[in-house]
Amino acid sequence: MPKIYCFGNEFIPDDDIAVLLANKIKRINHFEFIKAESPMEILAEKEELWILDVVKGVSKTKIIDNPQQLKLTHSLTCHDLDVGFYLKLLLETGKLKMVRIIALPYGEKNINALEKEIVKILKKK
């Protein structure tokens, strides 16, 4: 069953929505929603990876699957090794062939409306 890793911090109001959705949805079709505790959890995935997260600059829920759109933050220390860093390495080494990020609009709080949009997107997959 493909997993969708939900990233965020439930204690930070603008970064909590993906985690709240993971708690609520659990499963849609054959997709299992996982609340990600650490960026390194994605190291277990091969071929295709699904992520649910809040993305700044997105006005409605959509899939981002172009790795060129992933911005690499400047990694200065091990403390900065984030999901973006591991994603780039997994794609660069060919361990992952595809990353699909279900991007949620930043600041959107209507969890029921977001759930409906996710269901609509995943029905096509």
Partner 1 sequence: MKKITLNHITKVEGHAEVNIQIADGIVDQCHVHSVEGARHFESIIKGRKYDEITLITSRICGICSCGHTIASIQAIENALHIESTLQTRLLRELVTIGERIRSHASHIYFFSLPDYLGYGNAVEMAKEYGQEVKDCLEIIRVGNQLIELVGGRDMHPFVPVAGGFTKISKPKDFLRVKKELTKILPLIEKTVTLFAGLSVPDYEKPDTVFLSLENQKTFPLHTGKIISNTGIEFPPEQYEEFINEYFEKGSSAKFATIKGKEFMTGALARINNDEDKLSPRVKKLIQKLNIKLPSANLFLNNLAQALEILHWTDRAVSILEKADFKPEPIKKPDFKNGKERRGISAIEVPRGILFHDYTFTKDGILKKANIITPTVQNLPDMEMNLKTYLNQILKKEPKKPKEELVLEIEKMVRSFDPCFSCSTHFLKINWTEK
Question: Which among 58, 63, 62 has a CA at the least distance from the CA of 106?
Answer: 58
At closest approach, how far in Å is the CB of 101 from partner 1?
Answer: 18
Distance CA 113, CA 63 (A): 16
For the chain, the maximum distance between any two Cα atoms, rounded to a whole number of angstroms, is 40
By CB under 8 A, which span of 8-16, 51-59, 75-83, 117-125 interacts with partner 1?
Answer: 75-83
Beta bridge partners of 4: 33, 50
10-49 mask for partner 1 (x: CB under 8 A)?
A: ---------------------------xx-xx-xx-----
Distance CA 103, CA 18 (A): 9
Q: Taking CB under 8 A as the rule, does residue 88 contact partner 1? A: yes
Instruction: Tell me which residues touch partner 1 (CB under 8 A).
Output: 37-38, 40-41, 43-44, 72, 74-79, 81, 85-86, 88-90, 92-95
